């Protein structure tokens, strides 16, 4: 049985989908990530007594920086924004009349990615909300990108949900074994913020190709 202290950080699914090793370097090996988990845990407790900020605009209630968790996924995190829309299939909310259906919206500074990283994070947030509020399945959620100033609708399909579940199950397995996957160099490495930590053994006078040839085969 998991306790809150055992929960993984929800946002880690972005790192994990980018590179499993990057996720492990941040969430298993780095001391600061433990601190981050502790701080976030404390914030969750504080916020339980200090409700997150909400406002109402017409038929929509807007909650910002809403803490979320899922015991089935074993994760906790935060939604940038959750819009609650008046809907007959919704749920009751404390202090509000009517029925409300939640819809998470995640804000990103950059532009839409080719990978599913942002969609997986958003889908995980929706699964948390469904579990916390005992509401019916959320069909659509949104990613807002700062560079395009646009909302992108994301269908929360059965396939996306299954990918979220299998990612967290794999992360849980690595986390409990304190296992960091070995280097699997890909073109993603060029854009990786941890490449200096991940590839410390790269000889000064050899190129990436030689290094990659040297480590290929080490992987699982």
Nearer to ligand SF4, 47 or 195 (CB): 195
Nearer to ligand SF4, 161 or 195 (CB): 195
Would you tell me how many other CB atoms lie within 10 Å of the CB of residue 143? 21
Nearer to ligand SF4, 30 or 54 (CB): 30
Would you tell me how many other CB atoms lie within 10 Å of the CB of residue 99? 16
Cα separation, 73 vs 77, in Å, equals 12
CB 13 to ligand SF4: min, Å: 15
CB 204 to ligand SF4: min, Å: 17
60-63: long-range pairs with CB below 8 Å, 24+: 60/84, 60/85, 60/86, 61/93, 61/96, 61/100
What single-letter DSSP state applies at residue 73?
Answer: T
User: Which residues in this chain contact ligand SF4 in the complex, by CB under 6 A?
Assistant: 19, 21-22, 25, 183-185, 188-189, 192, 194-195, 198-199
Half-sphere exposure of 185 (CA within 13 A, CB side): 17
Nearer to ligand SF4, 176 or 218 (CB): 218
CB 197 to ligand SF4: min, Å: 8
CB 129 to ligand SF4: min, Å: 30
DSSP reduced 3-state for 181: coil
CB 184 to ligand SF4: min, Å: 6
Cα separation, 32 vs 128, in Å, equals 25
Residues in the chain: 220
CB 118 to ligand SF4: min, Å: 17
Greatest C-alpha distance within the chain: 68
Nearer to ligand SF4, 19 or 138 (CB): 19
Q: CA 185: distance to chain centroid?
A: 23
Nearer to ligand SF4, 14 or 22 (CB): 22
């Amino acid at each position: 049985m998991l306790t809150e202290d055992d929960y993984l950080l929800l946002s880690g699914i972005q790192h994990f989908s980018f590179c499993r090793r990057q996720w492990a370097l941040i969430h298993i090996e780095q001391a600061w990530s433990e601190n981050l988990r502790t701080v976030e845990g404390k914030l969750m407790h504080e916020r339980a007594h200090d409700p997150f900020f909400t406002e109402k605009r017409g038929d929509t209630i807007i909650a910002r920086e809403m803490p979320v968790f899922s015991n089935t996924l074993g994760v906790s995190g935060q939604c940038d924004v959750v819009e609650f829309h008046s809907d007959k299939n919704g749920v009751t909310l404390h202090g509000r009349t009517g029925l409300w259906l939640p819809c998470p919206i995640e804000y990103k500074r950059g532009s839409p990615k080719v990978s599913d990283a942002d969609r997986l994070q958003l889908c995980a947030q929706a699964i948390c909300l469904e579990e916390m509020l005992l509401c019916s399945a959320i069909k659509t959620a949104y990613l807002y990108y700062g560079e395009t100033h646009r909302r992108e609708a994301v269908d929360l399909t059965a396939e996306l949900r299954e990918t979220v579940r299998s990612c967290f199950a794999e992360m849980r397995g690595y986390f409990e074994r304190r296992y960091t996957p070995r280097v699997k160099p890909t073109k993603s490495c060029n854009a990786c913020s941890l490449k200096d930590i991940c590839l410390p053994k790269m000889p000064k006078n050899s190129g990436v190709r030689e290094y990659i040839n040297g480590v290929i085969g080490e992987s699982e």
